[in-house]
Amino acid sequence: MAKIKIACLPGDGIGVEVMASAKEVLQTLATVEEDLKIELVDFNWGSDHYIETGEMMPEHAIDTLKGFDAVFLGAVGNPALIPDHISLWGMLIKIRRELSLSLNIRPARVINGIQSPLHSPRKFDFIVVRENSEGEYSESGGVIHNGVNEIAVQNAIFTRQATERAMRFAFDLARKRESKVTSATKSNGIVHSMPFWDRVFQEVAKDYPDVKTESIHIDALAAFIVTKPQNFDVIVASNLFGDILTDLAGAVMGSIGIAPSANLNPDGRFPSMFEPVHGSAPDIAGQEKANPIGQIWTAALMLDHLGHLNASKRIIEAIEEVTKQGIKTADVGGAYSTREVTNAICDYLISSAQ
Ligand SMILES: NC(=O)c1ccc[n+]([C@@H]2O[C@H](COP(=O)([O-])OP(=O)(O)OC[C@H]3O[C@@H](n4cnc5c(N)ncnc54)[C@H](O)[C@@H]3O)[C@@H](O)[C@H]2O)c1
Ligand SMILES: O=C(O)C[C@@H](O)C(=O)O
Ligand SMILES: [K+]
Ligand SMILES: [Mn+2]
């Protein structure tokens, strides 16, 4: 197979640390997987770049990224110095929008060796399909007047195109899995967009009579993720609902530090972007405490997307082997550093190949 070219954007905080880990894993894997050839190119964009230049990324950043097979991102945000909406909209969300990454795919399942905080979890394995281009995340609105008269307006945008696209993706995915799609709604409280969401869901479902469906209000769904995560297969959600559900799903797995995600460009016109669910975690940055598994599992999603299924499986196997051995960071009950977990995963990739 041809060499794959990956743009690496470590970003801020622990993004830099877990990116270093995942790059090592990818480079190690390339030494043991014969047909895996990877070129990793770093771009040090993010909050430091903003402080120097007033921009999160240089002017031609998006054009530069278009020349790669995939974008691999750590995390963005330095809230002590830059308001979060500036850093996120200047980089993460800008990339999502300008590369038309309209689907965000976020799996959650039991990982061998990682204890869920649930008391006696049944084996669960579900995927959240998060609409990634519109919904509650919208630039439509504004703030007017001052003082007691101040008004903030934030419009949610739901287009038929993007809503249907997320739902069809969810149904197609469910057909390859357990054939069930759950729609995250809130049509009891949100009177325009969510009844529309429900209507589109019912229409799309007609094209998939073999797939079981259910609609659950987001508040109840959040509770069910805790009480019976094993009931779910594919969950389709709007941008904000999907965002919240996937931190919850990460927590139910054991830590948001292990949750991966794939931001997909559905028509393949632009590269897709891969980043863990978690953020830059300023509370633990620079302390060797970050769990690198979210970023490393994300690398596996990226390889899978690029057609390297075997290499992808090897990463997952290495993660589960190392966690089973108890080599884990503190967030999942271990006493090991970012570096030690990374080394153990790389060592396993080498020794299992011999
Ligand atoms: N995709 C992204 O780039 C992204 C995602 C979420 C938040 N953010 C940004 O990150 C910054 C911090 O946000 P936040 O605190 O709300 O969320 P966060 O995900 O960074 O951290 C939440 C909590 O989880 C812990 N945590 C996160 N990742 C971990 C890991 N790999 N290992 C161990 N513990 C981990 C943190 O220490 C923290 O206690 C903000 O600037 C925010 O906007 C960026
Ligand atoms: O989409 C966001 O709000 C940023 C971050 O929280 C994420 O989940 O990627
Ligand atoms: K992230
Ligand atoms: Mn989030």
CA of 136 to the centre of ligand 4 (A): 13
Q: What's the gap in Å between 311 CA and the centre of ligand 4?
A: 27
Q: Which ligand is nearest to the CA of 256?
A: 1
Q: Which residue has the tokens 């934030």?
A: 154
Kindly state whether residue 265 falls inside one of the protein's structural domains.
no
Task: Give the model confidence (pLDDT) of 155-178 as tens digits.
Answer: 999 999 999 999 999 999 999 999
Kindly report, residue by residue over 312-344, the tens digit of the pLDDT: 999 999 999 999 999 999 999 999 999 999 999
For residue 14, give the ligand 1 atom closest to its CA. 31
- Which tokens sit at 249? 């799903």
Q: Is 38 helix (H, G, I), strand (E, B) or coil?
A: strand
Q: Say yes or no: 326 and 218 in one domain.
A: no
Query: In the structure, what pLDDT confidence band is assigned to residue 354 with cuts at 50, 70 and 90?
Result: confident
Catalytic residue among 243, 304, 328, 336: 243
> Is residue 225 located within the same domain as residue 301?
no
Atom of ligand 1 nearest to the CA of 74: 3
Query: Same domain for 4 and 85?
Result: yes
Active site residue 186: yes
What is the CATH number for 219?
3.40.718.10
Token pair for 291? 């769990």
Residues 63 and 166 in one domain: no
Residues 76 and 174 in one domain: no
Same domain as 94, residue 28: yes
List, for residues 52-74, the tens digit of each pLDDT value. 999 999 999 999 999 999 999 99
Listed residues 253, 269, 301: the one ending a domain: 253
User: Is the same domain home to 121 and 40?
Assistant: no
Spatial separation of the C-alpha atoms in residues 16 and 12, rounded to whole Å: 6
Nearest CA, atom 2, ligand 2: 243
Instruction: State whether ipTM is beyond 0.95.
Output: yes
Write the pLDDT tens digit of every residue in 287-320.
999 999 999 999 999 999 999 999 999 999 999 9
Phi and psi angles of residue 139, each rounded to the nearest 5 degrees, phi first: -90, 0
119 has a pLDDT exceeding 90: no
Residues 20 and 121 reside in one and the same domain: no
- For residue 120, what pLDDT band results from cuts at 50, 70 and 90? confident
Q: How many CB atoms lie within 10 A of CB 283?
A: 9
Cα 257–Cα 258–Cα 263 angle in degrees, nearest 5: 100
Would you say residue 269 lies in a domain? Answer: no
Q: How far is the C-alpha of 262 from the C-alpha of 274, rounded, in Å?
A: 5
3-state secondary structure of 182: strand
Nearest residue CA, atom 36 of ligand 1? 281
* DSSP string covering 98-144: HTT--EEEEEEE--TT---SSSS----EEEEEEE-SSBT--S-EEEE
In a domain, 110, yes or no: no
Residues 193 and 145 in one domain: yes
272 membership: H or E segment, kind and range: strand 272-274
The mean pLDDT value for 251-278 works out to 98
Contacts of 196 (CB under 8 A, 6+ apart): 158, 163
Same domain, 132 and 200: yes
Is 212 annotated in the active site? no
d(CA 173, CA 104): 13
User: Which of 14, 256, 291, 293 for a ligand 1 pocket mutation test, highest count of atoms within 8 Å of Cβ?
Assistant: 256
Which atom of ligand 2 approaches the CA of 275 most closely? 9
Query: Residue 2: what pLDDT?
Result: 87
Last residue of one domain, picked from the residues 202, 229, 253: 253
Share of the chain above pLDDT 70, in %: 100
Q: Determine if ligand 2 sits within 6 Å of the CB of residue 243.
A: yes
Domain count, the chain: 2
196 and 249 fall within a common domain: yes
Q: Spot the catalytic one: 137, 208, 336, 348.
A: 137
Judged by DSSP in three states, 235 sits in strand
Please choose, from the candidates 65, 76, 126, 75, the residue with its C-alpha nearest in 3D space to the C-alpha of residue 101.
Answer: 65
Question: Can 331 be counted among the known catalytic residues?
Answer: no
46: domain range? 1-101+292-354
Residues flanking ligand 1, CB < 6 Å: 14, 18, 75-77, 79, 84, 88, 92, 256-257, 275, 278-284, 290-291, 294, 331
Check the CA dihedral 341-233-230-201 and report its sign. Answer: positive
In the sheet with 234-237, reading across from the earlier edge strand, the strands are: 38-42, 4-11, 70-75, 272-274, 262-264, 103-109, 125-131, 234-237, 180-185, 212-217
> Is residue 259 situated within a structural domain?
no
Output the CA 22–ligand 3 centroid distance in Å.
13
Annotation marks residue 247 as catalytic: yes
pLDDT digits over 175-212, tens only?
999 999 999 999 999 999 999 999 999 999 999 999 99
Q: What is the mean pLDDT of the chain?
A: 97
Give CA–CA dist 345/40, Å, rounded. Answer: 19
- Encode burial over 36-62: b for 16+ CB neighbours within 10 A, e otherwise: bebebeebebbbebbeeeeebbeeebe
- What average pLDDT score do residues 73-94 get? 98
For ligand 2, pick from 85, 92, 280 the residue to mutate: most ligand atoms within 8 Å of CB: 92
**193 shares its domain with 95:** no
Q: CB-based burial of residue 346 (10 Å sphere; 0-12 exposed, 13-18 middle, 19+ buried)?
A: buried
Alpha carbon distance 74, 305 (integer Å): 18
Evaluate whether residue 342 is within a structural domain.
Answer: yes
Given a cut of 90, whether residue 1 has pLDDT beyond it is: no
Q: Is 175 helix (H, G, I), strand (E, B) or coil?
A: helix
Q: Which of 253, 283, 311 is the last residue of a domain?
A: 253
- State which amino acid sits at residue 296: I
Distance 191 CA to ligand 4 centre (A): 25
In this structure, the residue with its CA closest to atom 6 of ligand 2 is 243
Position 3: which residue type? K
